[in-house]
Amino acid sequence: MELGFRYFLNQLFFKKIIIINIIVFLLPLVLNTFLFLFNLKQVSLIDYFDLHPGIGDIIRSPWTLISYSFFHIDFFHIFWNMLILYVVCKHFLNFLTNKKLIEIYFYGALMGGLFFVISYNIFPVFKNAFSPLIGSSAAVYAVLIFACSYMPNTRVNLIFFDIKLKYLGLFYVLLSLIQIPFSNAGGNIAHLGGAFYGFYYAKNFNLSNSPFDFFIKLINNFKSKPKENRDNQKKIDNILDKISKSGYESLSKNEREFLFKNSNND
C-alpha cells in the first residue's frame, strides 16, 4: 500500500512540471486576448524571459538562463516536449526521487542555455545573427538521455520494431547535431547541452548524492554511517549496476520494491 502511494506521488510530481509548462504557455495568449478585447496594446511576456546570448544581456537578466525553458513557440513545440517528458518519466524513471528528477530537468535546462550562450559567442557563423532561445527541449533532452544512458540496454517498442534505449538516445543526439546548419541552430545546440548533462548525470549517478551535492558530501565525510545504512547503500549500488547492464525490467519484484522504497527517503 505504501509503495503504491509513493509511486502515485512520484508520478504526480513530473505531471506538475508538465502542468506548469502548459500554464506558462497559455498565460501570454490569454493576457493578449484580454488586451485585445479592451482595445489595449498587446505585450510580449516572452521578451522578459527568453534567453539572449549577449554577455551583457545575461548580466542584466540572469534568470533567463532558466526562465527561457518554460516558454514555447507554438502548440506543437510544447506538445512534443511534454509528450517525450511524460513517456520517459512514466515508464523509465520510477526509481528516481523528486529531488533527482528536478535536478536533471533544471540543470539540463541550465546546461542547454549555457551551450547556447557559449556557442553564439565563440563560433564566427553566429556573429550578429541570432534568435532568442525559448523552449523546454534542453531540459527534456536531459531527462531522455539520462534514461537512455542509465538504462542503455532496456528495450522499447516503436510499433514496428523494438530498439534499445541507447540507440534511441544516439538517434536524437545525432538528429540535433546534423540539423544545426539547416534550421533552429540555437535550439539544436541547446538540445546537445541538455543531452550532455543527462549523459553526465547518468554516468555519475548515485541515489545518495548528486554530482552537485558537494557540500552534502563534505558534511557526510565527518559523520559515521550506521552499518544498516552502509548495507542498504551496497545493495542499492548492486541493483543500480544491474539496471545499467541489463535494464530496469531485469529486476525482480523485491529488488524494485527495495530500490523504490530507499530512493524516496530524500
Q: What pLDDT, in 10s, does the model give residues 213-262?
A: 543 444 345 444 455 555 676 777 777 777 766 766 677 877 777 776 66
| Rounded-to-integer distance, Cα 14 and Cα 104, Å | 12
Domain spanning 2-263: CATH 1.20.140.10: no
Percent with pLDDT over 70 in the chain: 80
**Residues 6 or more apart from 78 whose CB is under 8 A from it?**
21, 22, 25, 72, 136
Looking up cell 544545426, which residue turns up? 180
- What pLDDT was estimated at residue 171? 96
* Per-residue pLDDT reduced to its tens digit, 55-106: 999 999 999 999 999 999 999 999 999 999 999 988 888 778 788 898 999 9
Q: Name residue 180's amino acid.
A: I
Question: What residue segments make up the domains of the chain, in order of their start?
Answer: 2-263
The per-residue pLDDT of the chain, averaged, comes to 83
